[in-house]
């Protein structure tokens, strides 16, 4: 229980001393005398290997210095000065001394499992270490769970390597995230989201363009990372059919995690190697984690493996660098963490003598934007000319925020200004925001959770896990001593779950199962997964996919339509909607894309409180409302915004619409149009004719649009019961129309909804009026 204290409140001087001691000790001991890992008996092939390792290492070093010479020539450019400056910073990172070990580990092993605390330098340095390795003739893919991290890391690594970023012929580093591909043909390192690498595997299941895949932030355990690990295990062990396409070129895999779940990962890959006849070893280097970071419960299992494993896995532990963080709790629990955060932020700004930015962890976009407004409203009262206080600048950070604004958080604050970053858990481990000395932690996060009764995922605000709380706290001590203010009590903290539940156990598996099917996995029930979901959850996903026509009913194999959907960066339900809309009989793909683009942001409409909207604005916004419901209302808003050519910001303000959300919607809309064109669902002439002029949508087109959504979401229908409330047609769960809906308070024959939200009751959000006979009609229609 005291574990967090040990690792987080580590005094830097003590840490440095320990490090120096351990380094000296390492130098004293030659390799054979080094402390051996617990899994000694795993080093089956060690004696012969020592020699070959030496020889190979020499070759690697030779090759490496050749490449570095080339690199030196390449760096005589204006970026070189920055590169040199950054080199000094890099050399101070805890991972720097492990460079040779890491390179050598992958000379003979296929898999390296690397656990290191956030900030040790894993994400930025490991790809660069590997890039100069002898075996690394192809590209290196580095996956991230989040777009913002992929982009900011790519930028940082390009800077560190002294080359431009992206498509330029000189660039060695690029990135590829959904709706933004910035990869050049000479890129050696490519940062991409897990989803994008899975997409690439549709084209090239053997990942032939890569020599190495670095899977970063595995501890976040998104469904995509679990799938990716399953596919990579097949490629690296050779148990996957696709491996033949690599023509004997090995693929190396580095799995990186902020927490020490190495045992589980080692088991996972080890079991894969057991299925192949090759002999190999598991070796360990680096300091073993302290007991505070090691998961004791997994030890027995790995020892079991040790007797039979024949894998080629290496593990490495890198200690993080952490300045002391003083942590404060509330004495009483709060009912409103936003309000508590508001008070805390101003308290820090007024009372804390030390400089430094404030990072606030909140739940979702809505809470972030509300709090931003509240802070900005309060600033003039607190920071007066006589107060002598520095200025405050508020920066939001959430997944749906347009790229450029996400990147704004990385710029240093202007002189005499303190940054306040209001973030969702996106800032927990993936990204480093320089300058942060104060963390305010709400203790909550929004998580996706499958509700069996409702048959779909919904977003719920939940308590975070202890390990999340520790990660959040650690963000305050990255550059200097810091402070963390937890907006909950100490006993609340003690009662938190140790770790978060992996997403694969929480959410709808339709996308995951379609992903597997599209990549040729017939027997999805036995696909290797780090954590196995229940059979029931898998079966439910298969049924859902059958209902969407993405699988063939006769053999459960993927259908042509399923393949098309798998290529779209959307859930199967939204993909099915798009396909239905592309049918010439429906002929409403462009408007459907506009609506789908709106679903990529939380809400395009600003939440208005009575006092801050004038009647004119309310009327202007009301003019966008459509009697059919929210889908058509979103469409009207997008079309009106798109046809505005002079001042879109002013238009948004006038209509109480979020300009920021709309920018994002337009971005997604453009990308979706391009993807539909690629998928031959849209022709270039369709696009050329798609003027951004305000079209009136005819009644029949409006009906068709809703029918297409019904095709994608046939279960998301509710009907009224005599008391006026609604019940879902599947599961008979009580739902109410969300107050944000244009249909709020209306009684209709049937409603179709996009999602559920929970506050004090179950609400359907994104609601439109539909007719029950449409359900029969859409099933009768061809795909
Ligand atoms: O992956 P890990 O958390 O171990 O560390 P990292 O992301 O490689 O970050 C190492 C260091 O690089 C950080 O402490 C920052 O000083 C710097 N960095 C940065 O300035 N900007 C980024 N976008 C990423 C890292």
- Residues in the chain, total: 783
CA distances from 466 to 146, 263, 422 (A): 21, 20, 21
Position in ligand 1 atom list of the atom nearest CA 434: 20
Å from CA of 433 to ligand 1 middle = 9
Please tell me whether residue 464 adopts helix, strand or coil conformation.
coil
Predicted local confidence at residue 298, as pLDDT: 27
Predicted local confidence at residue 569, as pLDDT: 82
Q: How confident is the model at residue 457 (pLDDT cuts 50, 70, 90)?
A: low
For residues 514 and 31, the model is more confident at 514
Predicted local confidence at residue 72, as pLDDT: 52
Work out the average pLDDT over 603-615. 72
The Cα 556–Cα 547 span in angstroms is 12
125: left (phi over 0), alpha (psi -120 to 50) or beta: alpha
Predicted local confidence at residue 272, as pLDDT: 85
Å from CA of 560 to ligand 1 middle = 43
Q: How far apart are the first and last CA of the chain?
A: 56
The Cα 716–Cα 454 span in angstroms is 9
Å from CA of 723 to ligand 1 middle = 57
Please write the tens of the pLDDT for every residue from 198-242: 999 988 999 999 999 999 999 889 999 999 999 999 999 988 888
Q: Ligand 1 test: best mutation among 119, 214, 412, most atoms within 8 Å of CB?
A: 119
Closest CA to 767 of 740, 749, 733: 740
Å from CA of 287 to ligand 1 middle = 21
Å from CA of 482 to ligand 1 middle = 18
Strands 726-728 and 180-182: unpaired
Please tell me whether residue 320 adopts helix, strand or coil conformation.
coil
Q: Which residue(s) pair with 410 in the sheet?
A: none
pLDDT higher than 70, residue 345? yes
Residue 118 near ligand 1, beta carbon < 6 Å:
yes
Within 307-395, residue ranges assigned H as helices are 337-351, 365-382
Across 15-19, 60-64, 85-89, 547-551, least confident range: 15-19
Å from CA of 120 to ligand 1 middle = 8
Please tell me whether residue 5 adopts helix, strand or coil conformation.
helix
Predicted local confidence at residue 641, as pLDDT: 96
Residue 120 near ligand 1, beta carbon < 6 Å:
yes
Q: Which helix (H) or strand (E) holds 482?
A: strand 482-486
Residue 412 near ligand 1, beta carbon < 6 Å:
no
Å from CA of 119 to ligand 1 middle = 6
Q: How confident is the model at residue 456 (pLDDT cuts 50, 70, 90)?
A: low
Residue 166 near ligand 1, beta carbon < 6 Å:
no
Å from CA of 122 to ligand 1 middle = 8
The Cα 19–Cα 4 span in angstroms is 19
Position in ligand 1 atom list of the atom nearest CA 118: 3
Residue 156 near ligand 1, beta carbon < 6 Å:
yes
**What does residue 492 show for φ and ψ, rounded to 5 degrees?**
-60, -45
Position in ligand 1 atom list of the atom nearest CA 217: 1
* C-beta of residue 223 within 8 angstroms of C-beta of residue 151: no
Mean pLDDT, the chain, as a whole number?
83
Predicted local confidence at residue 352, as pLDDT: 87
For residues 275 and 376, the model is more confident at 376
Q: Please, what is the Cα angle at 195 between 359 and 455, to 5 degrees?
A: 90
Q: Please, what is the Cα angle at 705 between 701 and 706, to 5 degrees?
A: 120
User: For residue 344, what are its two tokens?
Assistant: 């805390």
Position in ligand 1 atom list of the atom nearest CA 152: 23
Position in ligand 1 atom list of the atom nearest CA 318: 4
Å from CA of 694 to ligand 1 middle = 46
> What's the pTM value of the predicted model, to 2 decimals?
0.78
pLDDT higher than 60, residue 46? no
Å from CA of 700 to ligand 1 middle = 54
Work out the average pLDDT over 696-718. 93
pLDDT higher than 70, residue 11? no
- Torsion sign over Cα 540, 544, 547, 552: negative
ipTM value: 0.97
Residue 116 near ligand 1, beta carbon < 6 Å:
yes
Within 519-644, residue ranges assigned H as helices are 535-547, 560-567, 572-582, 589-598, 615-622, 630-643
Å from CA of 755 to ligand 1 middle = 36
Judge residue 481's burial from the number of C-beta atoms within 10 Å of its C-beta, 0-12 exposed, 13-18 middle, 19 or more buried. middle
Q: Which helix (H) or strand (E) holds 104?
A: helix 99-108
Q: Whose CA is nearest to atom 13 of ligand 1?
A: 119
Work out the average pLDDT over 313-336. 90
Predicted local confidence at residue 513, as pLDDT: 96
The Cα 746–Cα 725 span in angstroms is 10
For residues 72 and 415, the model is more confident at 415
Residue 432 near ligand 1, beta carbon < 6 Å:
yes
The Cα 628–Cα 704 span in angstroms is 12
User: For residue 162, what are its two tokens?
Assistant: 């002294």
Predicted local confidence at residue 155, as pLDDT: 94
Position in ligand 1 atom list of the atom nearest CA 120: 4
Closest CA to 454 of 754, 721, 208, 710: 754
* C-beta of residue 272 within 8 angstroms of C-beta of residue 282: no
Position in ligand 1 atom list of the atom nearest CA 153: 23
Please tell me whether residue 707 adopts helix, strand or coil conformation.
helix
For residues 90 and 689, the model is more confident at 90
Q: Whose CA is nearest to atom 25 of ligand 1?
A: 432
User: For residue 653, what are its two tokens?
Assistant: 């303000």
Å from CA of 265 to ligand 1 middle = 24
pLDDT higher than 60, residue 397? yes
Predicted local confidence at residue 565, as pLDDT: 94
Q: How confident is the model at residue 281 (pLDDT cuts 50, 70, 90)?
A: very low
Å from CA of 432 to ligand 1 middle = 6
Residue 119 near ligand 1, beta carbon < 6 Å:
yes
Q: Ligand 1 test: best mutation among 98, 432, 479, most atoms within 8 Å of CB?
A: 432
Across 57-66, 214-223, 321-330, least confident range: 57-66
Strands 750-758 and 717-720: antiparallel
Predicted local confidence at residue 67, as pLDDT: 56
Helix axes 572-582, 510-518, angle to 10 degrees: 70
Q: How confident is the model at residue 515 (pLDDT cuts 50, 70, 90)?
A: very high
Closest CA to 225 of 214, 235, 236: 214
Residue 121 near ligand 1, beta carbon < 6 Å:
yes
Question: How much helix, strand and coil, in percent to the nearest 5, is found in the chain?
Answer: 45, 15, 35
Å from CA of 98 to ligand 1 middle = 16
Query: How is the beta sheet containing 313-318 ordered, strand by strand?
Result: 180-182, 173-177, 189-193, 139-144, 210-215, 252-257, 111-116, 313-318, 282-286
Å from CA of 582 to ligand 1 middle = 44
Å from CA of 118 to ligand 1 middle = 8
Please write the tens of the pLDDT for every residue from 156-178: 999 999 999 999 999 999 999 87
Across 103-117, 224-238, 635-649, least confident range: 103-117
pLDDT higher than 60, residue 1? no
Helix axes 337-351, 365-382, angle to 10 degrees: 40
Å from CA of 478 to ligand 1 middle = 10
Contacts of 680 (CB under 8 A, 6+ apart): none
Q: Ligand 1 test: best mutation among 91, 116, 124, 477, most atoms within 8 Å of CB?
A: 124
Residue 259 near ligand 1, beta carbon < 6 Å:
no
Predicted local confidence at residue 410, as pLDDT: 85
Predicted local confidence at residue 651, as pLDDT: 95
Three-state SS string over 159-185 comes to HHHCCCECCCCCCCEEEEECCEEECCC
* C-beta of residue 161 within 8 angstroms of C-beta of residue 125: no
The Cα 323–Cα 770 span in angstroms is 58
Residue 147 near ligand 1, beta carbon < 6 Å:
no
Residue 128 near ligand 1, beta carbon < 6 Å:
no
Residue 122 near ligand 1, beta carbon < 6 Å:
yes
Residue 256 near ligand 1, beta carbon < 6 Å:
no
Position in ligand 1 atom list of the atom nearest CA 124: 8
Please write the tens of the pLDDT for every residue from 549-583: 999 999 999 999 999 999 988 899 999 999 999 99
Q: Whose CA is nearest to atom 17 of ligand 1?
A: 432
> Which residue shows structure tokens 């004090």?
760
Across 4-13, 365-374, 420-429, 453-462, least confident range: 4-13
Residue 152 near ligand 1, beta carbon < 6 Å:
yes
Q: Ligand 1 test: best mutation among 102, 118, 121, 165, most atoms within 8 Å of CB?
A: 121
Predicted local confidence at residue 296, as pLDDT: 31
Q: How confident is the model at residue 366 (pLDDT cuts 50, 70, 90)?
A: confident
Predicted local confidence at residue 361, as pLDDT: 97
CA distances from 248 to 243, 244, 478, 592 (A): 8, 7, 43, 46
User: For residue 758, what are its two tokens?
Assistant: 């929970």
Residue 123 near ligand 1, beta carbon < 6 Å:
yes
The Cα 192–Cα 199 span in angstroms is 11
Q: Whose CA is nearest to atom 10 of ligand 1?
A: 121
Q: How confident is the model at residue 52 (pLDDT cuts 50, 70, 90)?
A: very low
Q: How confident is the model at residue 306 (pLDDT cuts 50, 70, 90)?
A: very low
Neighbours of 512 (CB within 10 A): 25
Residue 124 near ligand 1, beta carbon < 6 Å:
yes
Q: Whose CA is nearest to atom 8 of ligand 1?
A: 121
Closest CA to 741 of 623, 616, 573, 627: 627
Q: How confident is the model at residue 66 (pLDDT cuts 50, 70, 90)?
A: low
* C-beta of residue 215 within 8 angstroms of C-beta of residue 207: no
DSSP 8-state secondary structure symbol assigned to residue 534 = P
């Amino acid at each position: 229980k005291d574990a967090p204290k040990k690792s987080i409140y580590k005094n830097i001087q003590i840490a440095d001393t320990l490090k120096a001691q351990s380094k000296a000790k390492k130098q004293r001991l030659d390799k054979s005398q080094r402390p051996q890992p617990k899994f000694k008996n795993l080093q089956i092939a060690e004696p012969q290997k020592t020699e070959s390792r030496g020889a190979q290492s020499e070759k690697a070093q030779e090759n490496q210095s050749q490449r570095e010479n080339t690199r030196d020539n390449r760096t005589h450019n204006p970026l070189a000065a920055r590169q040199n400056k950054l080199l000094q910073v890099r050399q101070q990172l805890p991972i720097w001394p492990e460079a040779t070990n890491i390179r050598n580990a992958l000379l003979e092993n296929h898999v390296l499992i690397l656990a290191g605390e956030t900030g040790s330098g894993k994400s930025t340095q490991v790809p660069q270490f590997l890039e100069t390795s002898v075996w690394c003739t192809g590209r290196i893919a580095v996956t991230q769970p989040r777009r913002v991290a992929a982009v900011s890391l790519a930028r940082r690594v390009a800077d560190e390597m002294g080359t431009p970023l992206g498509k330029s012929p000189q660039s060695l580093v690029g990135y590829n995230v959904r709706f933004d591909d910035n990869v050049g043909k000479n890129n050696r390192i490519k940062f991409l989201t897990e989803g994008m690498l899975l997409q690439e595997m549709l084209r090239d299941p053997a990942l032939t363009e890569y020599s190495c895949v670095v899977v970063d932030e595995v501890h976040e355990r998104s469904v995509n990372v679990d799938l990716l690990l399953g596919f990579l295990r097949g490629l690296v062990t050779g148990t996957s059919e696709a491996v033949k396409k690599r023509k004997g070129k090995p693929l190396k895999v580095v799995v990186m995690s902020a927490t020490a779940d190495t045992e589980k990962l080692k088991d996972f890959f080890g079991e894969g190697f057991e299925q192949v006849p090759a002999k190999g070893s598991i070796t360990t280097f680096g300091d073993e984690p302290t007991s505070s970071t090691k998961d004791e419960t997994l030890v027995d299992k790995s020892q079991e493996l040790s007797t039979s494993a024949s894998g080629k896995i290496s593990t490495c532990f890198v200690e993080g660098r952490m300045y002391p963080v003083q942590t404060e709790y509330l004495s009483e629990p709060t009912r409103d963490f936003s309000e508590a955060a508001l008070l805390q932020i101003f308290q820090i700004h007024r009372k804390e003598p030390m400089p430094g930015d404030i990072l606030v962890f909140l739940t979702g976009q809505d809470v972030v934007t509300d709090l931003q407004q509240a802070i900005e409203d309060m600033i003039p009262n607190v920071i007066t000319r006589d107060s002598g206080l520095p200025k405050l600048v508020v920066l939001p950070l959430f997944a749906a925020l347009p790229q450029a604004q996400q990147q704004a958080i990385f710029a240093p604050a202007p002189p005499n200004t303190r940054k306040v970053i209001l973030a969702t858990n996106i800032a927990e481990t993936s990204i480093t925001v320089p300058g942060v000395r104060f963390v305010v932690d709400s203790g909550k996060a929004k998580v996706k959770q499958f509700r069996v009764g409702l048959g779909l995922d919904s977003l719920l605000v939940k308590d975070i896990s202890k390990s999340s709380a520790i990660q959040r706290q650690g963000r305050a001590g990255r550059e200097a001593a810091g402070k963390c203010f937890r907006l909950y009590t100490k006993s609340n903290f003690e009662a938190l779950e140790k770790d978060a539940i992996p997403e694969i156990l929480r959410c709808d598996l339709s996308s995951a199962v379609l992903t597997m099917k599209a990549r040729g996995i017939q027997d999805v029930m036995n696909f290797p997964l780090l954590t196995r979901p229940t059979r029931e959850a898998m079966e439910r996903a298969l049924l859902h996919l059958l209902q969407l026509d993405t699988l063939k009913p006769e053999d459960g194999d993927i259908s042509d339509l399923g393949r098309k959907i798998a290529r779209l960066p959307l859930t199967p339900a939204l993909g099915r909607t798009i396909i239905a809309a592309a049918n010439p009989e429906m002929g409403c793909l462009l408007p459907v894309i506009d609506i789908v683009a709106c679903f990529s942001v939380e809400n395009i409409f600003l939440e208005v409180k009575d006092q801050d909207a004038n009647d004119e604005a309310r009327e202007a916004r009301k003019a966008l409302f459509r009697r059919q419901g929210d889908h058509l209302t979103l469409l009207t808003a997008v079309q009106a915004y798109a046809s505005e050519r002079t001042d879109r910001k002013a238009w948004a303000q006038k209509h109480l619409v979020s300009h920021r959300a709309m920018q994002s919607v337009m971005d997604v809309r453009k990308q979706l149009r391009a993807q539909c064109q690629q998928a031959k669902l849209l022709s270039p002439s369709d696009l050329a004719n798609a003027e951004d002029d305000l079209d009136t949508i005819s009644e029949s087109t409006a009906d068709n649009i809703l029918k297409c959504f019904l095709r994608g979401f046939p279960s998301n229908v509710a009907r009224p019961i005599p008391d006026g409330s609604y019940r879902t047609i599947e599961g008979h769960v009580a739902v109410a129309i969300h107050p944000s809906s244009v249909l709020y308070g209306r009684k209709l024959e049937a409603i179709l909804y996009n999602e559920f939200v929970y506050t004090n009751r179950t609400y359907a959000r994104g609601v439109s009026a539909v007719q029950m006979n449409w359900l029969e009609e859409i099933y009768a229609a061809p795909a």
